[in-house]
Amino acid sequence: MAWFKKPGVTTAENRKRAKNVEGLWLKCNHCREIVYRKEVERNSKVCPKCDYHFPISVQERIALLVDLGSFKEWAADIEPQDPLSFTDTRSYRERLKAQQEKTGRKDAIVIGEGTINGRRIALGVFDFGFMGGSMGSVVGEKICRVAERALALRIPLMLVTTSGGARMQEGILSLMQMAKTSAVVAQLGEARVPFICILADPTFGGVTASVAMLGDVIIAEPKALIGFAGPRVIEQTIKQQLPDAFQRAEFLMDHGMIDMIVERKHLKETLNQLLSHL
Amino acid sequence: MREYLEFEKPIREIEERLQKLISTGGSRASVQEETKKLKARLARTEVELYRKLTAWQRAQLARHPQRPGVLDYLDAMCRDFIELHGDRVFGDDQAVLGGFARFNGRSVMIIGHQKGKTLKERMQRNFGMPNPEGYRKALRLMKLAEKFSRPIITFIDTPGAYPGIGAEERGQAGAIARNLSVMSRLKVPIVSVVIGEGGSGGALALSVADRVLMLEHSIYSVISPEGCAAILWDDPSKTPDAAEALKMTAKDLLGLGVIDDVIPEPLGGAHRDPQTAVDRVAKSLTSHLAQLADSSGEELLARRAQKYRKIGTVVESVAGRK
């Protein structure tokens, strides 16, 4: 490493090096400490200083939950439409195209089946990277499909949520996905098919106020932000600063809204243990 | 006293001129002639104005401070209303009211958001924005209706569920979610009427129903036009554009297959002629309840499930595009 290099000289090589160094370290979203990226990755993407659970990709999530190689995706080719011909500063169609190119996915959820220690389960995992994991017609439809398959096969359903809420660009149709998914989950309940929700950071709005809160058992990841109204909206409404831990998983736990907070590395064994009772 | 909205200014001007003219003594022929002319102009202007309302203008009518609320409909439509209170857990949320009443001689459960008319009442009722207790009270009353086989009528008029610290602490999201799920499986007819503002999840939590009706100038949306403009445009002045883009009017929703009927309003909105509005709502409710009356609980459930299952638009490409 060059210890005595003149400051202020930005060569192409310098820029490249800066980027590499940046890539080696990571700033924790929660405790703001600078942590070694490799250590975080070894630790199932959990901050070694404060236990904050970094967002992980859908693939990483699936790998963490089900037995190696057991996942089979369902209905991957269901695509969104633009029912309102919605345009704000950009058209919804353009946004969708950009997000699809970015993520290689048609919309904000992946559904399918896999096994947990050999037991067959149905699984849905939200992708926050696709328009903030927002629930429009496709997400609603796929949640219904995975629930219906779970019902037909009589296998437990698990849903991992990370979402900003309903997808505004689909207007009232996105709001109705809350009713649509809740209705299907209600039928799952009547048939006594287990439904477990795993709430990851962040889970808000229409997703919390529908499927996410309807699990027979609700698990949250440590320090995940979970709520109905976003903190900014609440702050603007009540004109007060919000308490520190407000809407964190621990806050929900204290208020009796969830069953447990489970660290990522213990998630699979916890699910396995739960399933043995359901 | 009539309250005028910003876009009703042309009407206000003509009406003020009329008032002045009449108060200056109206026996002279020239004055009478002028009065007649102004009245004709007023009628023309009104028809013209209300015929082509923008979505944002409709939103303002939907929120009009003098617009009839659930209590106005209840008083005029039903007899023997007996209000029931409390969620049996935490409190009695006055943003939601409910109880048994007699409609067309039959016992029904009426539940609705009430925004309040005076400032004091508005504050008591939290401007029609329920806390979790409100949804829990509604749920309790709906289950009571099911227990005694009474149809449920809900009146929707809310800016949305209240975003507050206490609301989050007491499980706002879970309360709404439970209503959605339980309402989808109640074995009695449910008819909802959006009479003003259908604000997002806070409205949906009382309107998972066999039939959803909307008054002509009501709105029903996933987010308020102001909220949408702030988030997507980052510019509050784009509120009218957001209102248009969200497709939140009764006609839009009928077109999207989300609601079942639009109830026409008197010229200028329900508040201009509340009796007519009440009569039309009562007539529509009567007809929809009659259509549902012969169905068994199981039939209702099957049809309701199918109805909600179909909402949304997706494309599924045929195999080979993978």
Q: What CATH number should be reported for the domain holding residue B219? A: 3.90.226.10
Q: Which of B164, B222, B304 faces A238 most closely, judged by CB atoms?
A: B164
Considering the domain boundaries, does residue B321 fall inside one? no
Phi, psi of A11, deg, nearest 5: -95, 170
Let me know whether B45 and B125 are in one domain: no
Share of chain B above pLDDT 70, in %: 98
Q: Of the given ranges (A91-100, A160-169, B24-33, B46-55), which has the lowest mean pLDDT?
A: B24-33
pLDDT at position A21 over 60: no
Give the confidence band of A4 by pLDDT, cuts at 50, 70, 90.
Answer: low
Mean pLDDT of the A199-207 span: 97
Shortest CA distance from A188: residue in chain B: B181
**pTM over 0.90, yes/no:** yes
Let me know whether B15 and B135 are in one domain: no
- Tell me whether residues A183 and B172 touch, CB distance under 8 A: no
Instruction: Determine the pLDDT at residue B20.
Output: 87
Cβ B70 vs Cβ B112: under 8 Å: yes
- Average pLDDT, whole number, for chain B? 94
* Domain limits for position B32: 6-52
Let me know whether B174 and B273 are in one domain: yes
B180 touches chain A (CB under 8 A): yes
Q: Which residues of A touch B238 (CB under 8 A)?
A: 88
B222 touches chain A (CB under 8 A): yes
Alpha-carbon radius of gyration of chain B: 22
- Tell me whether residues B173 and A209 touch, CB distance under 8 A: yes
Let me know whether B78 and B99 are in one domain: yes
Considering the domain boundaries, does residue B318 fall inside one? no
Residue B257 DSSP class: T
Give the confidence band of B322 by pLDDT, cuts at 50, 70, 90.
Answer: very low
Instruction: Determine the pLDDT at residue B285.
Output: 98
B214 touches chain A (CB under 8 A): no
Instruction: Determine the pLDDT at residue B107.
Output: 98
Greater pLDDT, B170 or A28: B170
Let me know whether B29 and B73 are in one domain: no
State the sign of the Cα–Cα–Cα–Cα dihedral B272, B278, B283, B289: positive
pLDDT 10s digits, A30-74: 888 999 999 998 888 999 888 889 889 999 999 999 999 999 999
Residue with tokens 């066999």: B210
The two beta strands, A119-126 and A157-163, are parallel
Considering the domain boundaries, does residue B85 fall inside one? yes
3-class DSSP state of B72: helix
Mean pLDDT of the B190-197 span: 98
3-class DSSP state of A41: helix
- Tell me whether residues A172 and B313 touch, CB distance under 8 A: no
A134 touches chain B (CB under 8 A): no
CB interface of A with B, residues 231-260, below 8 Å: 233-234, 237-238, 240, 242-243, 246-247, 251, 255-257
Whole-number Å distance between alpha carbons of A264 and A258: 16
Q: Which of B227, B309, B316 faces A180 most closely, judged by CB atoms?
A: B309
Instruction: Determine the pLDDT at residue B298.
Output: 97
A23 touches chain B (CB under 8 A): no
Work out the number of other CB atoms within 10 angstroms of the CB of residue B272.
Answer: 18
Instruction: Determine the pLDDT at residue A18.
Output: 46
pLDDT at position B319 over 90: no
pLDDT 10s digits, A227-273: 999 998 898 888 888 988 999 999 999 999 999 999 999 999 999 99
Considering the domain boundaries, does residue B319 fall inside one? no
Q: Of the given ranges (B42-46, B152-156, B200-204), which has the lowest mean pLDDT?
A: B42-46
Q: Which residues of B touch A246 (CB under 8 A)?
A: 165, 168
Mean pLDDT of the B200-221 span: 98
Let me know whether B35 and B161 are in one domain: no
Mean pLDDT of the B56-73 span: 97
pLDDT at position A14 over 70: no
Considering the domain boundaries, does residue B320 fall inside one? no
Q: Which of B227, B258, B314 faces A172 most closely, judged by CB atoms?
A: B258
Let me know whether B265 and B298 are in one domain: yes
Distance, in angstroms, between A259 CA and closest chain B CA?
13
Domain count, chain B: 2
Give the confidence band of B243 by pLDDT, cuts at 50, 70, 90.
Answer: very high
Q: Which of B165, B185, B246 faces A242 most closely, judged by CB atoms?
A: B165
- Tell me whether residues A182 and B258 touch, CB distance under 8 A: no
- Tell me whether residues B313 and A137 touch, CB distance under 8 A: yes
Phi, psi of A273, deg, nearest 5: -65, -45
Instruction: Determine the pLDDT at residue A144.
Output: 98
Whole-number Å distance between alpha carbons of B182 and B175: 11
Instruction: Determine the pLDDT at residue B320.
Output: 39
Highest mean pLDDT among A88-92, B150-154, B313-317: B150-154
Question: For A217, how many CA atoms within 13 A lie in the half-sphere containing its CB?
Answer: 18
Let me know whether B68 and B211 are in one domain: yes
A215 touches chain B (CB under 8 A): no
Q: Which of A168, A180, A243 faces B228 most closely, judged by CB atoms?
A: A168
Mean pLDDT of the B53-75 span: 96
Q: Of the given ranges (A213-217, A245-249, B35-39, B124-128), which has the lowest mean pLDDT?
A: B35-39
Instruction: Determine the pLDDT at residue A170.
Output: 97
Instruction: Determine the pLDDT at residue A3.
Output: 52
Full set of structural domains in chain A with CATH? 1-53 (no CATH), 55-277 (3.90.226.10)
Distance, in angstroms, between B57 CA and closest chain A CA?
18
pLDDT 10s digits, B248-289: 999 999 999 999 999 999 999 999 999 999 999 999 999 999
Let me know whether B122 and B77 are in one domain: yes
Let me know whether B166 and B279 are in one domain: yes
Instruction: Determine the pLDDT at residue B318.
Output: 64
CB interface of A with B, residues 88-107, below 8 Å: 88-89
Let me know whether B96 and B141 are in one domain: yes
Residue A75 DSSP class: -
Let me know whether B83 and B119 are in one domain: yes
Report the candidate in A242, A260, A210, A250 with the shortest Cα–Cα distance to residue A226. Answer: A250
Considering the domain boundaries, does residue B315 fall inside one? no
Cβ B105 vs Cβ B122: under 8 Å: no
Whole-number Å distance between alpha carbons of B278 and B263: 10
Phi, psi of A28, deg, nearest 5: -70, 135
Cβ A160 vs Cβ A198: under 8 Å: yes
